[in-house]
Each structure stands twice: as structure tokens, then as C-alpha cells.
């Protein structure tokens, strides 16, 4: 049973949460527990490998952390006394945020040893705070574009490889980068595949292989065909075994959504139409404006030098594509 389902189960039982005793349920395949406060806030009880680590408690806007807390826990009618846990609490009643917190932090715990140190726990809490801080920022892209990129991952033959390549570096100008191979995803709600490109996007560096993935994405009602970005994420999660990659997908999602995170759950797009329309195009088949580089050379230039220029030049550490060279002689 997933941690989110455990939390739903906890809401249906009599919860005891005071200074000395907590009602908890065990997390699958881990020694840690999941609890619920009297206000309905989710709480992780993490069994650390050390006690009295002198870590300072944290009280942030959404999260609180209490290190080395002596607890009496009640599970399945059996009470166990005097166990020390580090308790991480999300102070929010928002169901979507609660589910996100539970899913993300459970993945983080799986990436740690069975009994992590409090320093390891603190590092994951910092990562969680960093993710949540993005919820206050402006969206990076439109929801439609994010949905289309998630669909490409979900429909791929190997979602793990494709998800790992998704915005793998902040400076990447393509949606997916796998070494020499690049994929740029474009979406439209119209009948025709009309897309906009930045000048650089259709002028990749030499030896790069660029494909453009075009998807028709139309808003839909919530039904068997209408899926949100969170529905697509759930589908992708079932196809990826690595918690590290699943966490990467979640992180990119939240960074892209920003403050739209809370409303994205209610936006749906037609899954069947999008799948049927998904098409790949080689970038050389798409009309483009060639990028022009102007180099001023003093003195005479020979035929061999012109041939070297035609093979591409290095600008800002990157080699340009092969190009035609036109020589203008200034008098």
C-alpha cells in the first residue's frame, strides 16, 4: 500500500496526537511511520540511526521538523513507548499539496539507508523546501506545453531514459537531451500544425541529431479521455522503477508549473486525440532561417582556410553547423 493510501486510511480511524502519544501506520518496506495530526496534517516519523545529534528543530512556512523526539506510538491497537523519531510535518490542509508532500518525501526516504542519520534527513528536508519554494514563482511555460512533454515521456518505448533526459540541465535549449540526440516538443490546439521556434532551435550544433515532436493538445472535460498533468505523472510513475528519476520528473513539473500548481489539477486535455496526433519530424524538413555568422579577417585568406570555415567554427565553446562561406572584400 502506498503512503498516500495509508494516509487516507488514517483519516478514517480515531487519531490520537498529543505531546506523548501518536497514532501511526508503518510505511511499506521501511522502519518509518506515517501519522496524522489532529488538524489533519500528514506527519512522517523517521527512525534515525542516532540520538541526541544536537540538530536544531525547523519551523518553516509549510514544514516543521522535530529531531530526536521521544514518542509513544499506537499502531493496530498496540502501544510502544519511548521511541525516538525525527518528525517531519506538512502544515497544510490542501489535499493536492499533502499528496505531493507524501509522495515526494516517501521517494526521498527510499533513496536513504533504512536508518539514515539526521544530517541525511536534514539534506532531504532542504531539497523539499527548495521544491516547495517554486510554488510561489511564476510559471515557466504554459500548461499545454508541459502536458505535451509529459505525454511524450508516457508514450515512449523507455520512459525511464526519456524522463532522465527531460530538461536534464537548466541551460539546455531543447526539451530532451540524450547526448547527440535532441527532441523539441511543440503543441497546438488548432487543426494545423503551426508552431513557433526560436532561431537557435532549428540550427543545432554540428553532429547533433534533432527531432521535433508535434502534438495536438485540446482541452477536455474530466472523463476517460481527459487527463491532467498529474494523471500523466501517475501513469509515468507506474512505468519507472527509479525513485531518483520519478523525483526528477516531479521536480521539473513543479518548477514549470510554479504558482499554477494548485489549479493544474482541474485542467484536462484529450488524451486520445493527443496520442493519435503525436508525430516526429526531422528538423531539416522544417523551413527555417539560417543563422549567419560574420567574421572579419585581416589580410589574405586562402582556399584551405575557406574550406575549414565551411566545416564550422567554434563560438562560445560550441561548434556551429556546416555552412556556406561567402567572401566579401572590403577596399
Q: How confident is the model at residue 38 (pLDDT cuts 50, 70, 90)?
A: confident
Check pLDDT > 90 for residue 36. no
Mean pLDDT (whole number) for 292-311: 63
**Does 304 score more than 60 pLDDT?**
yes
Give, in degrees to the nearest 5, the angle at Cα 74 between 69 and 76.
145
- Residue 241, pLDDT > 90, answer yes
- Band of pLDDT at residue 301, cut at 50, 70 and 90: low
Query: How many angstroms separate the Cα of 192 from the Cα of each of 188, 210, 214?
Result: 8, 22, 11
Tell how far CA 266 is from the center of its chain.
Answer: 19
Q: What is the mean pLDDT of residues 67-88?
A: 89
Q: What does the pLDDT read at residue 205?
A: 76
Give the C-alpha distances (Å, rounded to integers) separating 178 from 151, 160, 232: 18, 12, 22
Residue 88 has pLDDT above 80, yes or no: yes
pLDDT band at 144 (very low <50, low <70, confident <90, very high): very high
Range with the largest mean pLDDT of 135-144, 284-293, 306-315 = 135-144
pLDDT given for residue 13 in this prediction: 65
Nine-digit cell string for 177: 537531451
Higher pLDDT, 301 or 153: 153
pLDDT confidence of residue 299: 60
Task: Please tell me which residue, 281 or 325, carries the higher pLDDT value.
Answer: 281
Distance CA 14, CA 282 (A): 59
CB 102, CB 223: distance < 8 Å: no
Task: List, for residues 154-199, the tens digit of each pLDDT value.
Answer: 999 999 999 999 998 767 789 999 988 999 999 998 877 777 777 6
Predicted local confidence at residue 79, as pLDDT: 87
What 8-state DSSP symbol labels residue 138?
P
123: nearest Cα among 55, 223, 40 = 55
* Average predicted confidence (pLDDT) for the chain: 85
With beta carbons less than 8 A apart as the criterion, state whether 165 and 178 touch.
yes
Compute the average pLDDT of residues 246-272. Answer: 94
Separation of CA 50 from chain center: 32
DSSP 3-state of 11: coil
Q: Provide the β-strand partners of residue 272.
A: none
Nearest to 72 by CA among 85, 90, 57: 85
Contacts of 205 (CB under 8 A, 6+ apart): 318, 319, 320, 321
Percent of the chain at pLDDT > 70 equals 81
**What is the pLDDT, as a whole number, of residue 115?**
94
Phi, psi of 85 (to 5 degrees): -125, 155
Residue 317: what pLDDT? 55
Q: Work out whether the CA dihedral 200, 205, 206, 207 comes out positive or negative.
A: negative
pTM of the complete model? 0.80
The β-bridge partners of 214 are 186, 279
Closest CA to 277 of 189, 211, 197, 215: 215
Residues in the chain: 331
Report residue 287 as a C-alpha cell.
Answer: 523551413
Amino acid at each position: 500500500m502506498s503512503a498516500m493510501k495509508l494516509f487516507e486510511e488514517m483519516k478514517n480511524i480515531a487519531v490520537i496526537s498529543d505531546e506523548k502519544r501518536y497514532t501511526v501506520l508503518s510505511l511499506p518496506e521501511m522502519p518509518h511511520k506515517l501519522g496524522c495530526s489532529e488538524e489533519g496534517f500528514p506527519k512522517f516519523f523517521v527512525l534515525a540511526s542516532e540520538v541526541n545529534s544536537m540538530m536544531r528543530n525547523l519551523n518553516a512556512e509549510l514544514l516543521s521538523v522535530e529531531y530526536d523526539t521521544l514518542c509513544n506510538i499506537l499502531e493496530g491497537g498496540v502501544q510502544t513507548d519511548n521511541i525516538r523519531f525525527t518528525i517531519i510535518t506538512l502544515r497544510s490542509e490542501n489535499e493536492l499539496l499533502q499528496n505531493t508532500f507524501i509522495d515526494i518525501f516517501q521517494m526521498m526516504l527510499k533513496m536513504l539507508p533504512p536508518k539514515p542519520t539526521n544530517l541525511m534527513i536534514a539534506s532531504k528536508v532542504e531539497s523539499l523546501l527548495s521544491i516547495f519554494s517554486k510554488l510561489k514563482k511564476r510559471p515557466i511555460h504554459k500548461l499545454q506545453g508541459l502536458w505535451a512533454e509529459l505525454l511524450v515521456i508516457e508514450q515512449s518505448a523507455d520512459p525511464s531514459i526519456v524522463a532522465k533526459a527531460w530538461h536534464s540541465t537548466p541551460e539546455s535549449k531543447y526539451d530532451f537531451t540524450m547526448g547527440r540526440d535532441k527532441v523539441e516538443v511543440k503543441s497546438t490546439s488548432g487543426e494545423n500544425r503551426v508552431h513557433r521556434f526560436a532561431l537557435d532551435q532549428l540550427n543545432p550544433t554540428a553532429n547533433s541529431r534533432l527531432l521535433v515532436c508535434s502534438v495536438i493538445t485540446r482541452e477536455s472535460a474530466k472523463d476517460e479521455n481527459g487527463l491532467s498533468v498529474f494523471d500523466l505523472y501517475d501513469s509515468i510513475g507506474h512505468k519507472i522503477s527509479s525513485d531518483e528519476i520519478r523525483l526528477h520528473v516531479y521536480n521539473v513539473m513543479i518548477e514549470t508549473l510554479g504558482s499554477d500548481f494548485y489549479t493544474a489539477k482541474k485542467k484536462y486535455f484529450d488524451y486520445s486525440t493527443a496520442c493519435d496526433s503525436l508525430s516526429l519530424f526531422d528538423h531539416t524538413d522544417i523551413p527555417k532561417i539560417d543563422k549567419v555568422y560574420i567574421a572579419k579577417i585581416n589580410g589574405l585568406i586562402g582556399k584551405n582556410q575557406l574550406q575549414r570555415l565551411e566545416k564550422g567554427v567554434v563560438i562560445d565553446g560550441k561548434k556551429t553547423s556546416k555552412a556556406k562561406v561567402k567572401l566579401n572584400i572590403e577596399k
